Amino acid sequence: MGFGMALSQNTKAMEVFCAMCEQDQQNIIDHTHQVDSKKEMQAYVESLSDKI
């Protein structure tokens, strides 16, 4: 599962991501290249919603 798809399924995480500055968003995106599975991606996106 790609980052965009996982993000679209988690409204709270999407709100957090959209509120970030461009550099923070790029750091998040860069990290997604290290994610190897759908379950990992969902957990990574879920962790974004904890940043509020």
Q: Say how many domains are in the chain.
A: 1
Give the pLDDT confidence of 21-43 residue by residue, as tens digits.
999 999 999 999 999 999 999 99
Residue 48 near residue 16 (C-beta atoms within 8 A): yes
| pLDDT score of 52 more than 90 | no
What interhelical angle do 11-19 and 38-48 show, nearest 10?
A: 60
Domain of 10 in residue numbering reads as: 3-51
Mean pLDDT score of the chain, rounded to an integer? 93
